[in-house]
Amino acid sequence: MSVLEMPASVVAEGDAGDRLTFGGFDIIFKSPAPDGAAGWTVADYTLPARRPGAPLHYHRELTESFYVLSGRLWMRVGDREIDAGPGSFVLVAPGTLHAFANHTDAPARFLAHASSPRHKEFLCRLFRMAQDEAAWPPRDPSVMARLGAAYDTFYK
């Protein structure tokens, strides 16, 4: 089954979906196939003001896209840095270094898509790790690196 095919239609209205909230971050997963059996990961993110998001990383096979709904999202994609506002779209091909953060005084809301249903599981485990650590990012970067590597996410 390709990532564009789904075994069934999915409707997730409004705030419907699995939710992760931590330290002002809010993610609502709109992903079809919650069991990770097929499809992709779709997430409605709210990134609080003046907060880092994902540190610089790449994926060997995963493709990601970002669509900014409100606020401004700083992104690095390859060697390019952009300040993406509402309506901005970024597609990140496999092998491309990328990162995002909110450098403004207002929240940024965006939709993120990942070409693997396992990316949802990765984000859930990463958030649990962040909740359990005394500091974030963790003092021992190998902890995050091991988790990421299990889900096609490699940090620089």
* 105 pLDDT above the threshold of 90: yes
Contact of 153 with 120, CB cutoff 8 Å = no
Place 37 in a pLDDT band, splitting at 50, 70 and 90. low
Tens digit of each residue's pLDDT (9 = 90 or more) over 108-117: 999 999 999 8
* 1 pLDDT above the threshold of 50: no
Tokens linked to 8: 């069934």
Tens digit of each residue's pLDDT (9 = 90 or more) over 64-102: 999 999 999 999 999 999 999 999 999 999 999 999 999
Place 15 in a pLDDT band, splitting at 50, 70 and 90. confident
Say what percent of the chain tops pLDDT 90: 63
| Residue boundaries of the structural domains of the chain | 18-155
Kindly report the CATH number that applies to the domain delimited by 18-155. 2.60.120.10
Beta-strand pair 108-114/41-47: antiparallel
Q: What pTM, to 2 d.p., does this model score?
A: 0.89
Place 10 in a pLDDT band, splitting at 50, 70 and 90. confident
Other CB atoms within 10 A of residue 94 CB: 13
pLDDT at 69: 98
Tens digit of each residue's pLDDT (9 = 90 or more) over 38-74: 678 999 999 999 999 999 999 999 999 999 999 999 9
